[in-house]
Structures are given as C-alpha cells and as structure tokens.
Amino acid sequence: MKKIIPAILTNDVEDLKTKLSQLAGLVDWVQIDIMDNVFVPNKSINVAELKNISHDFNLEAHLMVEHPEKYFHDCLEAGFKRVIFHVECCPDLNFIFKEAAGYDFEIGMALNPETPIEHVLPYLDKVKIILFLSVHPGFQGQEFITEVLTKIQKLKQQHPEILLAIDGGLKLENIQLAASSGADYLCVGSGVFKKGEVIKNLKDLQAAAADL
C-alpha cells in the first residue's frame, strides 16, 4: 500500500504546531521542509526550533539547503528519524555521507525535476530512500511536472530494492498517477491541509492512491 506523508512548509513555529496537531493520530510519518534562502529562494523554520515541540510522529527532514552537514546535529537533537539532502547541494557528496555516518538517522537523497537519475546511482548503497521532486523546490502550490514519473519508473525497474518517494504538486487529481509510477511514498503538502479539512483530504488521497 502506498504511504501518504504530509509535508509541512512554514516559517512560523505556531503554524507548524497547529498542523502537527491536525495530523495527530492520522499518520505516523511527517515531512518537515527546511530551506535556507540560498539553495532555494525561500526560508523556513530553523531545525533548532523543533527541539522543544512535543509530538508522536516519525519526522523526516527535507533539507533544501547548501552544506546539509551543518544541519545534522540539530536534526538529531530534534528527533528526526530520516534526513534527506539534495544531490545538487554540493560537488563533494562523499564528504556529506562521511559526515552523516556518525548520526543515528536514516539518510536519503532528493533530486530536482531536471536532475538525471544517473546522479544518484553511485550512492544507492548509502541511502534509505530517493525523493523525486515533481516541482521546483522552495514553494508549495506549483504545478505538477509529469516528466518526473518516467525517472521514477526507470529507477524502480533498475533498483526495486530502493524506496522511492515523490514530492510536489500532488493532489487528488494526480495522486493515482504518481502512485502508479512506482513511488512507495507520496509527500503531499497543501493537498493535505487545504480548507482545513485534514481528515477528509487524507482519506480521499489515501483512497485514490490505493485504487490502482
């Protein structure tokens, strides 16, 4: 069964707390988007601000930042179970993996829509999950880029053992299409929280993703 992971993009701690409370008891994983206004033209809450927030979720950090290794300590202290950084973040990815080796969380890699899958192939033995962005990173509410689905299908065929996720522009109208591509996880932001109808939105998304 495909898993829906709500994604929260905000620069307001109170908004984050509200969204987490809306998700309580509905999901086990939540993705938090972290942006530095350098790698992407937007800035989110700081990882350190999450340390004192009470919750019962498995948290996944999507680091849309340069120098992700500088965030690893705070991610650990904030209780993140998985940390995903971008293949495009720096020229020396082996250094990033070396820095990550000392931390007790799963590691994943993300690809921007235009990045070929060949960029992650040398590192598949080092990661738990590959996250495909189906919008350009930095802002919610963008249009879904369907060409990304071909890349997911290709990588899934070549390496079925690797968990694959898709993130960006997902909504009820295209969630089934994304699920059928081979993605194991579907990260949904505004599609979960729209109109404040979180329970209904999640139920509808999960039903559509399961109806293959």
pLDDT above 90: residue 10: yes
CA-atom Rg of the chain in angstroms: 16
88-144 residue pLDDT tens: 998 899 999 999 998 999 999 999 999 999 999 999 999 999 999 999 987 666 789
Among the listed residues 167, 184, 204, 211, the single catalytic one is: 167
pLDDT above 70: residue 56: yes
Its pTM stands at 0.95
Domain ranges of the chain: 3-210
- Mean pLDDT of all residues in the chain? 94
Pairing relation of β-strands 106-111 and 129-133?
parallel
Report H helices in 49-197. Answer: 72-77, 93-100, 148-158, 175-179, 190-193
14-45 residue pLDDT tens: 999 999 999 999 999 999 999 999 999 889 99
Which has the closest alpha carbon to 187: 201, 202, 167? 167
What is the structure's pLDDT at 34? 96
Among the listed residues 12, 15, 28, 33, the single catalytic one is: 33
167 is catalytic: yes
Query: Which of the four CATH numbers 3.20.20.70, 3.40.50.2300, 3.30.470.20, 3.40.1360.10 does domain 3-210 have?
Result: 3.20.20.70
Distance CA 146, CA 162 (A): 21
Share above pLDDT 90 across residues of the chain, in percent, rounded to a whole number: 90
56 is catalytic: no
What is the structure's pLDDT at 185? 95
